[in-house]
Chains A and B, each alone.
Chain A
Amino acid sequence: DIRMTQSPTSLSASVGDRVTITCRASQSFSNCLNWYQQKVGMAPKLLIYAASTSLSGVPSRFSGTVSGTDFTLTISSLEPEDFATYFCQQSCTTPFTFGPGTTVDVK
């Protein structure tokens, strides 16, 4: 199985900050990497798929990039509604494993 790691585990930020979350896989693969946002008590929400394609309706401040085996989710300017936990997921091969999550909370 492909194991996914995320860094940092958590971070504290303020509204307006630029936030970067990194996801790394135990095996290299192309661009089958997805990002989800989950708020407490709610189902996750897909933000980005295929590493860098934003789902329709997702604010443009969210972006995804890939560099080698490192996948990055960037929030260019944090909004109040962005405080949440973010998960990456690989969808290259089953089982479609998730990373452990990165929690973004208020500084």
Chain B
Amino acid sequence: EVQLVESGGGLIQPGGSLRLSCAASGFTVSSNYMSWVRQAPGKGLEWVSVIYSGGSTYYADSVEGRFTISRDISKNTLYLQMNSLRAEDTAVYYCARGPPYSSSSVPCWGQGTLVTVSS
């Protein structure tokens, strides 16, 4: 079964750091494009970052220079290192397989992990 399970969210003070993890099963993280998407309370979806299968990484302007996406092949896990956190980073963070999508790869989103930035 294709599955993603996020962890690492919690309450953090402004300026602090947090690392989110996204453990995959049923497929290989390093062979896929993997994304992070967030959703502030009561708001819409916001794309955060993507890592290509080849290792290239891209970020939303709002997190560029503060967040780093990475992966551990041995653990089949995706990460999001978040530094210099701000109140506006408060959101549920989802990891996802893709895009792009194809008929041969089952799309998958994790259940989400809540990050609250507050003093």
A and B from one complex: no
